[in-house]
């Protein structure tokens, strides 16, 4: 039998007639075909008994030269039979193909499959067999074995990649979690910070509840720092924070806003009840505290404002009013709580005057646009400009956008202003060689009926390609109605517009949530850039935003860049674009046209070490 296998796998020589005769004599068939030629070279191992076969397979696994096919006789010399041999070989090697060679029916195929399965790796040849039958079976199964191994290796490689991707995903989630925690908590007290307080206040303002916003400031805190040192001051702040967290009404929030100032947010049925709660909290802050072995007399002042559902509930305005009440409490001798009233706010009268003047600003020609360059990280080329609105009044002189934009946002004036800004911005693109214009849109504009259609109509009327227009929106705009925002942004991206998320890091979003929005880039809020050199937390937030933004395939623009150290740090961190006074202040159209034509704000470039070039930021200041 073994000689039959040797002859079956013997190379075909020129003496084909002799082989034909040998095959006929061996297999008893005068018409037997000669050994089939194959491009495969087989190495055979012959053993006489099942246990020897099992040992040979075990040795092959140890050496790494594994067998592709095993031909097994059902009946063998004394020892284990073919069924048991197949079972033991399969236990050692799950990939080997087993060919059962038999002229009898000692065991049914089902019995052998159960013992040495799977069934798709067990085959049968009946005796007497033909040369072609053996060689073709061996060739086909050897090919299949090789393919199976390659597929297995590919699956293993893919599984490793999946594991690696999962690990990277977990790392991204962990980095994001750390960044979110740093961004929302005070490092000294672990209490929520100003950002988290403002976010909670914004959420509360959307509800139908009546609530109180209070600002608390420690009395004579500077004296503690000056006499006992900053460590003592820090210890006192932690102690006061603990008292406030224990004293605030159930469901309320205590945040450290900075220095020795705290913010409180809690539900209240009315102004008098809120004032009583604040007076009770004040009593808890008064008394003697042990700080680093020293006795310190504690005290605080509070200003509080109450907001009802039908009133204007702008978070910035509520905090400002509470702060005005706090200032009034300090003027009255400290250690007291003061409720805000309209008489404290001279700005309310100014606000009404501004709203009246703003409605006539376009007609009177008081509005204008200035343009601040956006610089690419690589090569420091000017690739775009942000259009910024300015208002110079006859009665009050220049008025800051931070003042008049919120007023316009609260009325329908924002739509009229927004249309004017967009039309003016599109008009200037006609004279630029290729830069894009970045236009800010407020949440109210973004929610406007047929927002996409109005922008597309303006762009077509101006004859401008949509990819030269970047739409800047805030996190508030997209998270007020996330589903509608996602649909709007998708349509804008499909039409070719660029989409930038402005002031990132100060609103509601996380990188996990923004993945469903069609965005091109994130603009890091200038407050984080400004704090990079002084606060470790700000630098960590910037690093995290850049890393996570790039992981999602988004560009990252750093706003408010004012120093060379910031430029170098941001380029190393991987920010794709930079913007700020270090390069250029916002400039008039004539100067913007010159910059656009020149494309660079560079006087001298240092190429060898790719260090930041000397920039002409003073030229247009």
- pLDDT digits over 368-417, tens only? 999 999 999 888 999 999 999 999 988 778 999 988 998 888 777 899 99
Which residues in the chain show pLDDT less than 70?
Answer: 11-39, 103-107, 347-348, 505-513, 602-621
| Helix, strand and coil percent figures for the chain, each rounded to 5 | 50, 20, 30
Q: Cα separation of 243 and 189, whole Å?
A: 12
Q: DSSP letter at 591?
A: H
* Residue 228 backbone dihedrals phi, psi, to 5 degrees: -110, -10
Q: Which residues contact 139 (CB under 8 A, 6 or more apart)?
A: 36, 38, 40
Q: What is the pLDDT of residue 368?
A: 95
Cis amide bond preceding 44, omega within 30: no
- Candidates 417, 353, 369, 366; CA nearest to 394 is 366
pTM here is 0.50
Q: What is the pLDDT of residue 481?
A: 77
Q: What is the pLDDT of residue 544?
A: 85
Q: What is the pLDDT of residue 39?
A: 61
Q: What is the pLDDT of residue 100?
A: 86
Q: Cα separation of 415 and 409, whole Å?
A: 8
Please, are residues 209 and 248 in contact by the beta-carbon 8 Å criterion?
Answer: no
pLDDT digits (tens, 9 = 90+) for 235-269: 999 999 999 999 999 999 999 999 999 999 999 99
Instruction: Please state the separation of Cα 416 from the chain's center in Å.
Output: 35
Residue with tokens 């988290």: 196
Q: What is the pLDDT of residue 528?
A: 85
Enumerate domains of the chain plus CATH numbers: 2-151 (3.40.50.2300), 194-345 (3.30.70.270), 349-608 (3.20.20.450)
């Amino acid at each position: 039998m073994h000689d039959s296998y040797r002859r079956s796998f013997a190379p075909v020589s020129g003496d084909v007639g002799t082989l034909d005769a040998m095959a006929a004599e061996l297999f008893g068939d005068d018409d037997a075909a000669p050994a089939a030629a194959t491009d495969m070279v087989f190495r055979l191992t012959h053993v006489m008994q099942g246990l020897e076969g099992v040992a040979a397979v075990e040795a092959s696994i140890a050496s790494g030269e594994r067998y592709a096919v095993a031909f097994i006789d059902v009946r063998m010399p004394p020892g284990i039979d073919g069924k048991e041999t197949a079972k033991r070989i399969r236990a050692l090697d799950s990939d080997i193909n087993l060919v059962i060679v038999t002229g009898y029916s000692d065991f049914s195929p089902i019995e052998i499959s159960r013992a040495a399965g799977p069934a798709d790796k067990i085959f049968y040849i009946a005796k007497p067999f033909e040369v072609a039958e053996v060689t073709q079976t061996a060739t086909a199964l050897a090919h299949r074995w090789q393919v199976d191994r390659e597929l297995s290796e590919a699956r293993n490689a893919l599984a490793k990649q999946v594991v690696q991707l999962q690990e990277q995903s977990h790392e991204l989630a962990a980095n994001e979690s750390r960044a979110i925690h740093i961004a929302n908590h005070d490092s000294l007290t672990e209490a929520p910070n100003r950002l988290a307080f403002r976010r909670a206040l914004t959420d509360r303002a959307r509800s139908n509840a009546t609530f109180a916003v209070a600002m608390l400031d420690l009395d004579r805190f500077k004296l503690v720092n000056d006499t006992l040192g900053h460590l003592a001051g820090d210890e006192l702040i932690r102690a006061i924070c603990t008292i406030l967290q224990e004293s605030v009404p159930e469901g309320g929030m205590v945040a450290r806003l900075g220095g020795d100032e705290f913010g409180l947010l809690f539900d209240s049925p009315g102004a008098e009840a809120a004032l009583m709660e604040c007076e009770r909290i004040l009593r808890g802050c008064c008394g003697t505290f042990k700080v680093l072995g020293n006795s310190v007399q504690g005290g605080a002042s509070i200003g509080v404002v109450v907001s009802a559902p039908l009133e204007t509930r702008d978070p910035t305005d509520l905090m400002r009013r509470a702060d005005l009440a706090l200032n009034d409490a300090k003027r009255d001798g400290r250690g007291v709580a003061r409720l805000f009233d309209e008489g404290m706010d001279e700005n309310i009268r100014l606000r009404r005057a501004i709203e009246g003047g703003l409605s006539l600003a376009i007609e009177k020609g008081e509005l204008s646009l200035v343009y601040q360059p956006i610089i690419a990280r690589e090569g420091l080329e000017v690739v775009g400009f942000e259009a910024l609105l300015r208002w110079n009044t006859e009665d009050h002189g220049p008025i800051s956008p931070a003042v008049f934009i919120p007023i316009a946002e609260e009325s329908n004036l924002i739509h009229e202003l927004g249309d004017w800004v967009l039309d003016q911005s599109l008009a200037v693109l006609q004279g630029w060689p290729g830069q894009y214009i970045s236009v800010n849109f407020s949440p109210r504009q973004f929610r406007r009926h047929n927002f996409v259609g109005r922008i597309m109509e303006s762009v077509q009327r101006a004859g401008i390609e949509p990819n030269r227009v970047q739409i800047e929106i805030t996190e508030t705009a997209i998270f007020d109605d996330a589903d509608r925002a996602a649909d709007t942004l998708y349509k804008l991206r499909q039409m070719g517009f660029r989409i930038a998320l402005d002031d990132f890091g100060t609103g509601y979003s996380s990188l996990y949530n923004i993945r469903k929005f069609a965005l091109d880039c994130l603009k890091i809020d200038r407050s984080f850039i400004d704090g990079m050199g002084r606060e470790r937390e700000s630098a960590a937030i910037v690093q995290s935003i850049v890393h996570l933004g790039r992981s999602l395939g988004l560009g990252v623009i750093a706003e408010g860049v004012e120093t060379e150290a910031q430029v170098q740090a941001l380029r190393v961190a991987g920010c794709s674009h930079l913007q700020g006074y270090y390069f250029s202040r916002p400039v008039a159209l004539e100067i913007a046209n010159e910059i656009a034509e020149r494309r660079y704000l560079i006087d001298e470039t240092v190429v060898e070490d790719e260090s930041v070039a000397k920039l002409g930021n003073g030229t247009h200041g």
